[in-house]
Structure 1
């Protein structure tokens, strides 16, 4: 049974519901990451005793489920996408933007399926764009492939942002600090392919890199969908 299958208890004597609990937990996570979230801290933010929360949630995992579903409302498209490619592109970009607003989301992406009403609405909107394709197995592999790409890309981007904050070094600062070591290693001649990338490669920002990689993955999916079944 999920947290959404259980009725909420009476809000008396203090007005309380799962939406308020999720909002308080999200505020804590936005400020300090998932490690800053506990039932005790959420209760304190809502000015209630910790035991009051157990009428609404049973475990910390259920609290995370509520948080993920709440931010899935930000991922849900405002309009129905026109086709499957647009649906997957919108899903990827909206997920990335939501994760940049709520960095803790990156830690929960790619785990067990989200089953809350907002998450199910996101999935329904995405899958409905494939209505003209009868091969459901191929549709699911397409969605999984694109999801695997943007989940990994988002996690890497968030990890880089956290590293910058932890060290106080921007990406450019880090490159400058480690430049002498890299130069010495490349001068050995043992890494010619890497040397070519370092000397001749073009630096792009995270958003451009994300969009380019996404287009490549979508092109590959399109080629697979266009191929007649064997």
Structure 2
């Protein structure tokens, strides 16, 4: 039985509901990351005994499933674009925006599919964007490819944000601090391609980098769709 199939406990002595539990858990995760979330801590946030919550959730994993599904509601747009490329792009950008609001989401993306109603709705929207344009196996591989890019790019961006907070150094400060070492290493001549990238490459911000990479992935999907049988 999944957490979504579990019936609500009848007449709980402390007024609780799943929505209040999820809201408290998300607040804890936003404040302190996933390590700040537990059934006991959520219960304390709600001024309830931990045993009261077990009528709604059995394990921390179930609690995290509920958190992820709740945030998926933020990903699904009210109006889905009719063009497949625009539809996938909107979902990708909204996933990134949700992860920037809830950084802990990056730690839970890319695992087993979420089976809650919002997670299933997002999966449906991704598949529906390509439905009828190719055979179902091609559609599934295309969606998986886009998802893999989005997950990887988000995790990298969140990791950089966490590093900035942990070290107290912005990206520019870190580059300046690391500059002498990098200069010495490049001067050895062992890294010619990296040297060209450092000296001649154009630096862009995280949002522009995400958008460019996503466009390239969607270009690849478009090329595959033109060759795939419907």
TM-score by length of 1: 0.97
Kindly state the Cα deviation for residue 10 of structure 1 after the two structures are TM-superposed. Answer: 2.5
1:98 aligned counterpart, secondary structure: helix
Kindly state the Cα deviation for residue 11 of structure 1 after the two structures are TM-superposed. Answer: 4.8
Instruction: Note the 1:112-191 alignment, pairs <5 A.
Output: 112-191=112-191
CA distance in 2, matches of 1:213, 1:75: 19
| Cα deviations by residue, 1:175-198 (Å, 9 ceiling, x for unpaired) | 000100000111111111111111
Farther off after superposition, 183-192 or 104-113: 183-192
| Cα deviations by residue, 1:8-48 (Å, 9 ceiling, x for unpaired) | 11253222111111110000000000000111110000110
Farther off after superposition, 18-27 or 149-158: 18-27
CA distance in 2, matches of 1:90, 1:42: 33
Aligned to 1:62: 62
Q: Is the 8 A contact 2:134 2:228 kept in 1?
A: no
Q: Is the 8 A contact 2:135 2:228 kept in 1?
A: no
Kindly state the Cα deviation for residue 63 of structure 1 after the two structures are TM-superposed. Answer: 0.1
CA distance in 2, matches of 1:144, 1:192: 34
CA distance in 2, matches of 1:67, 1:11: 24
CA distance in 2, matches of 1:13, 1:115: 30
Following superposition, which runs of at least 4 residues in structure 1 exceed 4 angstroms of deviation?
A: none
5+ residue gaps in structure 2?
Answer: none
CA distance in 2, matches of 1:183, 1:228: 48
1:4 aligned counterpart, secondary structure: coil
Aligned to 1:40: 40
Does the C-alpha gap of structure 1 residues 228 and 162 become closer, same or farther in structure 2, counting only changes over 3 Å?
closer
Aligned to 2:87: 87
Q: Is the 8 A contact 1:83 1:130 kept in 2?
A: no
5+ residue gaps in structure 1?
Answer: none
1:149 aligned counterpart, secondary structure: helix
